[in-house]
């Protein structure tokens, strides 16, 4: 233990005492809610115009909002929702907004129970009748639905239910939840409900019953990706609050914006790049975050997301990926789906899993390509037809380290793979 550890900040003294970069890094987090949302006034006005009837105690239309990740959908809905509650309270209209993340709350029971729980939290005024507390599990769904209706009637007013990542709910549990919620107004007399669905997936409506779709998508709003100049404005706004004056080199914000604009105009990506650039400069005890820190941040973020992606793959996908690593180890920098299948069959035998068909292996290869783990292209072989070629762009050492953490793909187990015999089979 060093003598510095006796100081109040102990081990962290050297990391916190000479902070020349950050003033408040929290404003660069995804959870931060800015009061001003640059370049989203048309979308904010569109949402506000649809929800405005709630101020007069009328039922607003349901809304479906589409857009890629990091285009400001959730931030705009939260902003308009908070304004709606504020104005409603000012004029004496009961306007409430409940925001649910359907990536977590992904079944009909959980959705209904969470809405009811939110009503309990929002409603501080006691009503004449005792209301049952809905447990998060255990009741029949129709009983939960009935109790939710009773709570809505008891509190009155207009409730706006925001279903963020609504596509996750539909894919996990079907459209019965939406069917019930879009028809709940027919069972209510003293209360009104409006639904806002937010999705990154334009195709999720393919899973919906036409009746549900027509009720849910009374209004549709599309959020376009940000371009590089718009991302510059967003980053400049946050940087003013986040960084010590003079701690950012002039080219840092434009470079972060340019990289993020290439990734479908994702503001979250841009903010992550700016924050991590600052953190890397801070750890070096540098006086400024520079363009070199942005490039280092880009590599770090891509590596971190790749590791998370690979570690959560199903076993069969990991075995296919490992087969590709073996091919690269055999000095095959570009390999075909047929070659992957031959190596895969050998690896699947050693790890004792049922081998997949060539067609299913090709499907898994396409998924790995979609996730950005590998690159693929289809090439013509003339009269022999077409084949898929693939290769790695990223550092395969990291991929190997992640795969080795899976007990089935441990180094000891895969030492049984005879690389020389496999090499000979390709000659």
Mean pLDDT of the chain: 87
The whole domain housing 404 covers: 313-425
Note whether 87 and 203 are same-domain residues.
yes
pLDDT in tens, 262-297: 877 899 999 999 999 999 999 888 889 999 999 999
**pLDDT, mean of residues 120-135:** 57
How does DSSP assign 294-343, residue by residue? HHHHHHHHHHHHHHHHHHTS-HHHHHHHHHHHHHHHTT-SSEEHHHHHHH
191-199 vs 219-223, strand pairing mode: unpaired
The more confidently predicted of residues 374 and 412 is 374
Among 223, 240, 259, the domain boundary falls at 223
The more confidently predicted of residues 65 and 202 is 65
**Is 27 among the domain residues?**
no
Is pLDDT of 6 > 60? no
Number of domains composing the chain: 3
Q: What is the pLDDT of residue 14?
A: 64
Q: What's the CA dihedral at 75, 311, 391, 256 to 10 degrees?
A: 30
Note whether 133 and 253 are same-domain residues.
no
The set of residues, in sequence order, having a beta carbon less than 8 Å from that of 168 and lying 6+ positions away, is: 102, 103, 106
We report the CATH number of the domain holding residue 287 as: 1.10.8.60
**Is 340 among the domain residues?**
yes
pLDDT in tens, 410-426: 877 777 777 777 777 76
Which of 7-21, 53-67, 226-240 is least confident?
A: 7-21
**Is 129 among the domain residues?**
yes
191-199 vs 157-164, strand pairing mode: parallel
- Residue 102 pLDDT class (50, 70, 90 cuts): very high
- Nearest residue to 276 (alpha-carbon basis) of 254, 310, 244, 252: 252
Is pLDDT of 304 > 80? no
**Is 159 among the domain residues?**
yes
How does DSSP assign 165-187, residue by residue? THHHHHHHH-SHHHHHHHTGGGG
pLDDT in tens, 236-270: 999 999 999 999 999 999 999 999 998 778 999 99
Q: How far is CA 150 from the centre of its chain?
A: 34
DSSP state at residue 123: -
Note whether 234 and 217 are same-domain residues.
no
User: pLDDT above 70 covers what percent of the chain?
Assistant: 93
Q: What is the pLDDT of residue 9?
A: 67
Residue 75 counted as an annotated binding residue: yes
The owner of tokens 């589409």 is 66
The more confidently predicted of residues 139 and 236 is 236
Among 257, 275, 309, the domain boundary falls at 309
Note whether 301 and 396 are same-domain residues.
no
How does DSSP assign 23-47, residue by residue? S-GGGGSTT---S--TT-HHHHHHH
Q: What is the pLDDT of residue 129?
A: 45
**pLDDT, mean of residues 222-228:** 94
Rg of the chain in Å (alpha carbons): 27
Q: What is the pLDDT of residue 202?
A: 77
**Is 30 among the domain residues?**
no
We report the CATH number of the domain holding residue 401 as: 1.10.10.10
Q: What is the pLDDT of residue 18?
A: 64
- Residue 127 pLDDT class (50, 70, 90 cuts): very low
For residue 382, the tally of other CB atoms under 10 A from its CB is: 6
Q: What is the pLDDT of residue 125?
A: 46
Note whether 259 and 337 are same-domain residues.
no
Q: Can you say whether the dihedral through the CA atoms of 305, 307, 313, 317 is positive or negative?
A: positive
**Is 16 among the domain residues?**
no
**pLDDT, mean of residues 124-146:** 70
Is pLDDT of 142 > 80? yes
Q: What are phi and psi of 87, to 5 degrees?
A: -70, -40
Is pLDDT of 320 > 90? yes
The more confidently predicted of residues 276 and 375 is 276
Q: What is the pLDDT of residue 71?
A: 94
391, 299 contact by CB (below 8 A): no
Q: What is the pLDDT of residue 209?
A: 85
CA-CA distance, 14 to 243, in Å (whole number)? 19
CA-CA distance, 97 to 119, in Å (whole number)? 9
Is pLDDT of 69 > 80? yes
Note whether 150 and 206 are same-domain residues.
yes
Note whether 231 and 169 are same-domain residues.
no
Q: What is the pLDDT of residue 138?
A: 80
CA-CA distance, 117 to 133, in Å (whole number)? 8
The set of residues, in sequence order, having a beta carbon less than 8 Å from that of 202 and lying 6+ positions away, is: 66
**Is 120 among the domain residues?**
yes
Residue 73 counted as an annotated binding residue: yes
**Is 372 among the domain residues?**
yes
CA-CA distance, 137 to 36, in Å (whole number)? 40
User: pLDDT above 90 covers what percent of the chain?
Assistant: 48
Note whether 248 and 270 are same-domain residues.
yes
Note whether 81 and 164 are same-domain residues.
yes
Among 284, 309, 334, the domain boundary falls at 309
Q: What is the pLDDT of residue 15?
A: 63
Note whether 190 and 270 are same-domain residues.
no
Is pLDDT of 120 > 80? no
Q: Give the pair of three-digit tokens for residue 108.
A: 């009909």
The set of residues, in sequence order, having a beta carbon less than 8 Å from that of 381 and lying 6+ positions away, is: 387
158, 94 contact by CB (below 8 A): yes
The more confidently predicted of residues 91 and 302 is 91
157-164 vs 95-101, strand pairing mode: parallel
Is pLDDT of 382 > 80? no
Q: What is the pLDDT of residue 394?
A: 66
Buried-exposed string 147-179: b where 16+ CB fall within 10 A, e elsewhere: bbbebbebbbbbbbbbbbbbbbbbeebbbebbb
Helix (H, G, I), strand (E, B) or coil at 96: strand
The owner of tokens 């006086």 is 287
Most confident of 119-123, 124-128, 220-224, 382-386: 220-224
**pLDDT, mean of residues 33-52:** 94
- Nearest residue to 64 (alpha-carbon basis) of 47, 81, 49, 44: 47
Residue 359 counted as an annotated binding residue: no
pTM metric for this prediction: 0.71
Note whether 204 and 328 are same-domain residues.
no
């Amino acid at each position: 233990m060093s003598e510095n550890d006796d100081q109040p900040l102990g081990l962290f003294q050297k990391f916190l005492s000479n902070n020349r970069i950050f003033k408040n890094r929290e404003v660069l987090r995804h959870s931060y809610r800015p009061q001003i949302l640059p370049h989203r006034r048309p979308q904010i006005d569109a949402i506000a115009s649809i929800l405005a009837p709630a101020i007069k105690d009328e039922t607003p239309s349901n809304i479906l909002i589409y857009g890629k990740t990091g285009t400001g959908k959730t931030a705009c809905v939260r902003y308009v929702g908070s304004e709606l509650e504020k104005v409603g309270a000012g004029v004496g209209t009961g306007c409430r907004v409940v925001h649910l993340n359907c990536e977590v709350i992904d079944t009909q029971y959980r959705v209904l129970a969470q809405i009811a729980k939110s009503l309990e939290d929002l409603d501080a005024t006691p009503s004449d009748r005792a209301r049952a507390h809905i447990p998060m599990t255990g009741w029949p769904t129709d009983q939960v639905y009935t109790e939710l209706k009773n709570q809505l009637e008891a509190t009155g007013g207009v409730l706006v239910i925001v279903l963020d990542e609504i596509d996750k709910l539909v894919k996990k549990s079907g459209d019965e939840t939406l069917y019930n919620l879009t028809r709940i107004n027919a069972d209510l007399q003293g209360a009104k409900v409006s639904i806002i669905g937010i999705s990154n997936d334009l195709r999720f409506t393919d899973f919906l019953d036409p009746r549900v779709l027509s009720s849910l998508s009374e209004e549709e709003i599309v959020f376009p990706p940000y371009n590089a100049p718009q991302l510059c404005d967003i980053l400049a706004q946050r940087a003013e609050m986040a960084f010590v004056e003079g701690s950012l080199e002039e080219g840092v914000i434009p470079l972060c914006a340019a990289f993020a604009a290439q990734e479908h105009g994702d503001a979250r990506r841009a903010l992550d790049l700016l924050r991590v650039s600052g953190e890397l400069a801070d750890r070096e005890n540098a006086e400024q975050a520079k363009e070199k820190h942005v490039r280092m941040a880009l590599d770090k973020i891509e590596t971190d997301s790749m590791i998370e992606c690979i570690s959560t793959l199903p076993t069969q996908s990991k075995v296919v990926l490992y087969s590709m690593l073996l091919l690269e180890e055999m000095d095959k920098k570009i390999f075909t789906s047929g070659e992957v299948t031959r190596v895969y069959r050998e690896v699947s035998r050693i790890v004792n899993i049922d081998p997949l068909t060539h067609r299913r292996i090709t499907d898994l290869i396409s998924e790995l390509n979609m996730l950005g783990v590998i690159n693929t292209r289809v090439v013509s072989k003339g009269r022999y037809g077409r084949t898929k070629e693939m290769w790695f762009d990223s550092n395969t050492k990291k991929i190997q380290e992640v795969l080795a953490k899976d007990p089935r793909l441990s180094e000891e187990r895969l030492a049984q793979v005879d690389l020389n015999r496999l090499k000979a089979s390709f000659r």
